[in-house]
Amino acid sequence: MIHAKNLAAALFAGILFGLGLSVAQMIDPAKVVNFLDIFGTWDPSLAFVMGGGLLVNAIATPLIMKRGSPVLAEFFRVPAKNQVDRRIVIGGVLFGAGWGIAGYCPGPMITSLSFIDGNILTIFLAYVVGTLGAKFGIAKYEDFKHQKHLANEACVG
Amino acid sequence: MEIINFTPLSATLGGALIGLSAAFLLLVKGRVAGISGIFGGIVYPEKGDVSWRVVFIAGLIIGGFLYQWLGTGVGVDHIEAVTGTPWLIAAGLLVGVGTTIGTGCTSGHGICGLARRSPRSLVATITFMATAFVTVYIVRHLVTGA
């Protein structure tokens, strides 16, 4: 029963999110690129999308976290890590470049699959490949670091 | 600079819906509404933590359908890519690799992370926004010379 409620909640949240992206017209890559084009034809609208989302969340998040636990789960699974590292910057640069080239970040890209369009399918498949490749790469790298750590310990021992 | 197609009302309303969705997911499931993170957990599955992700992602697409169905003739009724196929592929790869290495995208860092005042998300958001601005400047004003 809890499981069904959980899935219903996730479905509701997904639909609301997809509707929000659509109403905000963030699903239109031309609008996104115009937002990013301050020195050309600038469309400041998307600053209001972020502002609206941030405002609601900045008020709601602390109130929700005060509860101690979520309604349908045992605990909040919010990233504990707060420090800035190299990954954040390298990832941000790569993602920003991709976002600027085509005007698609992951949310609007997935929501736009509803248009059943060849171009969207193309960028979506590339996004899947990129995600999978990076996940494998990171797993391999962590494994390598772990092995090196073990080897070092063996030498010391 | 020339300001065009400015739609502050629909933008704020859409943003508020996104914010409500994120708040709801946190309240009910205790999870962060970061799209790249939720989707990444399907592509590279985490055991026992996949089904809600699939349903959420399906919800996104259903939301897109609903908008097109309800809002016929209003707002966005079709999508035109801003670049050709090779660049779409390059962009998709960059977005996938970048959000995976950087542990988040516009929603996870830009909306949820900033709302929690995470310094990590602040640096991530500044980095990808700045790079995106520079990228568009290069593509639109240096390469094509428009």
Please, which residues 37-76 of chain A have a Cβ atom closer than 8 Å to chain B?
37-58, 60-61, 64-65, 67, 69-73, 75-76
Between the alpha carbon of residue A8 and those of residues A20, B25, B54, the distances in Å are 18, 11, 12
**What residues contact residue B18 under an 8 Å CB cut-off, 6+ apart?**
A16, A17, A20, A21, A24, A49, A52, A53, B33, B107, B111
Domain that holds residue B107: 8-143
Answer yes or no: is pLDDT of B46 > 90.
no
- What's the pLDDT at A29? 96
Contacts of B24 in chain A (CB under 8 A): 9, 12-13, 16
Q: Are A54 and B118 in contact (CB under 8 A)?
A: no
Reference B131, options B107, B111, B102; nearest CA is B102
Q: Rounded to 5 degrees, what are φ and ψ at B3?
A: -90, 130
Identify the pLDDT of residue B74: 64
Residue A108 pLDDT class (50, 70, 90 cuts): very high
pLDDT in tens, A49-101: 999 999 999 999 999 999 989 999 999 999 887 789 999 999 999 999 999 99
Q: Over 60: is that where the pLDDT of B143 sits? A: yes
Q: For residue A145, what pLDDT band results from cuts at 50, 70 and 90?
A: confident
> What residue ranges do the domains of chain A occupy?
2-82
Q: Is residue B35 part of a domain?
A: yes
Would residue B30 count as lying in a domain? yes
Across the range B57-78, mean pLDDT stands at 85
pTM for the structure as a whole: 0.94
Q: Which residue of B has its CA nearest to A35?
A: B133
Is B18 a member of any domain? yes
Q: Do B21 and A131 touch (CB under 8 A)?
A: no
Task: Check if the interface score ipTM surpasses 0.90.
Answer: yes
- Answer whether residue B3 is part of any domain: no
The residue assigned the tokens 């509701």 is A12
What string of DSSP letters covers A134-151?
A: HHHHHHHHHHHHHHHHHH
Task: Tell me the average pLDDT across A15-22.
Answer: 97
More reliable by pLDDT, B78 or B98:
B98
Helices (H), B31-146: 35-43, 51-70, 85-101, 114-115, 119-137
Predicted confidence at residue A149, as pLDDT, reads 86
Domain count, chain B: 1
Residue B93 touches partner A, C-beta closer than 8 Å: yes
Distance of alpha carbon B63 from alpha carbon A26, whole angstroms = 13
Cβ neighbours of A113 (radius 10 Å): 17
Average pLDDT over residues B50-60: 97
